Amino acid sequence: MGEQSARMSVEGMTCGHCEVAVGRALEGAGALRAEADFRRGEAVFDLPTEVDVEALGRAVREAGYEPGTVERIGRESKLVRKGEGDYDYDLAIVGSGGGAFAAAIRALGLGARVVMVERGTIGGTCVNVGCVPSKTLLKAAETYHRAGRHPFEGIETKAGAVDYGALVAQKDGLVSDLRQEKYADLVDEYGWEFVEGEASFEDEETLRVDERTIRAGAYVVATGARPAVPEVPGLEEVGYMTSTTSMEQDRLPGSVLVIGAGYVGLEQGQLLSRLGSRVTVMQRGTKLLPNQEPEVSEAVREGLEREGIGVLTGVRVERAEKAQDGKKRLHLTVEGEERVLEAEEILVATGRKPNVEELGLERAGVELDERGAVRVDDSLRTTNPKVWAVGDVTLGPQYVYVAAHEGAMAVDNALSGEGKTLDFSALPGVMFTDPQVATVGLTEARARAKGREVEASVLPLKAVPRALVNRDTLGVVKLVAEKGTGCLLGAHVAAENAGEVIYAATLAVRFGLTVSDLADGFAPYLTMSEGLKLAAQTFRRDVSKLSCCAA
């Protein structure tokens, strides 16, 4: 018994539900590992030689879809392209973060010869200066904050002094351990070559690392990004912190002005505020978190202001200067009015800038886009067909799990010719403020802009039993669904542990579940995830008139 890869065109698929139905129909008729894609209008699967192709078509038709012809695509797409030219390696990777490591591990699994080049510290942004250090300090700040204020009567707690230097040192220890265990040790475990040095392209298919030249069949650029600094007159002379350097200080600043109110600015601002700094965050636009649902944005703003954090919107930073007492001063225009603010420190959190300057990309024929990021198509190929780019250097969604997904996908495309493309329609994101914000899929406004007819439910957290017993009802659960079908298009949560809740909604969006599917399923009582079920029930009834756990 043998098998061969095959592809069938399928008409009539419109959502994830359809993909599941077509896949099940094909496998029921004898196909193996069937995967349908409603956007491409096709299904791919492994076809055993003894399976009747006409039976596959009948199965798909009986499932309610129109099958096309079956194309046998062979097995060559599963194999690494080796030996095409005089190369030292099948794959050369520039960078050593999450995307780079995912690429190396996938390539080793395909039997490729791999070299990785890193000019600085192994591990990239996430473990060194991003997710890991920031979230452990955020948890420390939350612990301190809860000790000083909580909603429960009869319990006395108090918060003592903060030794910020000790916190930073503990954070550094965690970072060092994870960098060793999750990155450095894996190089030896898998056995690819690791080269330290500055990598730069000499031409379209040659990389120079210091005095050494490297030729590879394919290249993956995964050099990440760094904090971007706006061109504000006087800012360089006055001095400032970034999200990186603020986590390296040995003392806590007494007051901080935060330029930028995206997820980095808000997380870092709340962290510093909870540990004792007086903080003001500034947003250039007229709305805080403009890409979020308005109900979510309002919940976050209320949470920040309750804790004494100043929130300014409609801000233009005109210039910076030193005050006579040594403090740092910002001259602002706030909604058309001039203002001057002073603080001990300025924290810049205005986005990130790709690390591309030393790569010699112009010599490799690799173009940058208008933001200075590496230009890639939806398969992650650059304008040089031998070079691929992944992670923050492309300024796509800046999450380490996106970089890792892209690293593996780029290798599949570069070495196996699989032709995979990016699909962020069910990409979750989390902002670790309090309340936490977690989202997946379309907002109501974006869905309407795409021409979708939608309906939405907005469930205040005071309707969620978990929030009531926590005595913290600030927040909201909002679901966006397609009108008529009820297919879930987006979920947006501002609540404690929102990041733990969003995975269920991610699966629902990815696989085309409806709000009825969510409403009719089981949700464990007294968990925040029950908010998804209650928000889904809100589409068809008033949940305030239900008893606890009522279906």
The size of the chain, in residues, is 551
- Residue 75, pLDDT score: 42
Q: How far apart are CA 121 and CA 480, in angstroms?
A: 42
Q: Which residues are catalytic?
A: 13, 15, 18, 65, 126, 131, 548-549
| Strands, E assignment, 20-166 | 32-37, 42-48, 66-72, 89-94, 114-118
337 contacts: CB under 8 Å, gap ≥ 6:
none
- Tokens representing residue 294 in the block: 């308005």
- Residue 391, pLDDT score: 98
Taking only the tens of pLDDT, the chain with its 551 residues reads: 456 788 899 999 988 788 889 999 999 999 998 989 887 889 999 888 889 889 999 999 999 999 998 887 754 434 455 445 679 999 999 999 999 999 999 999 999 999 999 999 999 999 999 999 999 999 999 999 999 999 999 999 999 999 999 999 999 999 999 999 999 999 999 999 999 999 999 999 999 999 999 999 999 999 999 999 999 999 999 999 999 999 999 999 999 999 999 999 999 999 999 999 999 999 999 999 999 999 999 999 999 999 999 999 999 999 999 998 999 999 999 999 999 999 999 999 999 999 999 999 999 999 999 999 999 999 999 999 999 999 999 999 999 999 999 999 999 999 999 889 999 999 999 999 999 999 999 999 999 999 999 999 999 999 999 999 999 999 999 999 999 999 999 999 999 999 999 999 999 999 999 999 999 999 999 999 999 999 999 999 888 877 776 66
Q: Are 86 and 215 a contacting pair, CB within 8 Å?
A: yes
- Classify residue 181 by its DSSP letter: I
The 8 Å CB, 24+ separation contacts for 326-334 are: 327/255, 328/238, 328/239, 328/240, 328/257, 329/238, 330/257, 330/259, 332/282
- Residue 76, pLDDT score: 42
Q: How far apart are CA 34 and CA 165, in angstroms?
A: 54
On the CB side of 21, how many CA atoms lie within 13 Å of its CA?
Answer: 20
Q: How far apart are CA 481 and CA 499, in angstroms?
A: 20
Give the burial class of 170: count Cβ atoms within 10 A of its Cβ; 0-12 exposed, 13-18 middle, 19 or more buried.
Answer: middle
Q: How far apart are CA 474 and CA 456, in angstroms?
A: 20
- Residue 72, pLDDT score: 77
Q: Are 464 and 496 a contacting pair, CB within 8 Å?
A: no
- Residue 50, pLDDT score: 86
- Tokens representing residue 518 in the block: 């969510």
- Residue 545, pLDDT score: 78
Q: Strand, helix or coil at 54?
A: helix
Residue 481 burial (CB count, 10 A): 25
- Residue 321, pLDDT score: 97
Q: How far apart are CA 375 and CA 363, in angstroms?
A: 15
Residue 154 burial (CB count, 10 A): 4
Q: Are 216 and 92 a contacting pair, CB within 8 Å?
A: yes
The 8 Å CB, 24+ separation contacts for 335-343 are: 335/286, 341/257, 341/280, 342/255, 343/253, 343/255, 343/256, 343/257, 343/278, 343/280
Instruction: Give the residue carrying structure tokens 């703003």.
Output: 301
For 209, 282, 338, 464, 498, the CA distances from 334, given in Å and listed in that order, are: 48, 9, 6, 37, 32
Q: Domains plus CATH for the chain?
A: 3-76 (3.30.70.100), 89-152+162-227+354-416 (3.50.50.60), 235-349 (3.50.50.60), 429-545 (3.30.390.30)
**pTM listed for this prediction:** 0.85
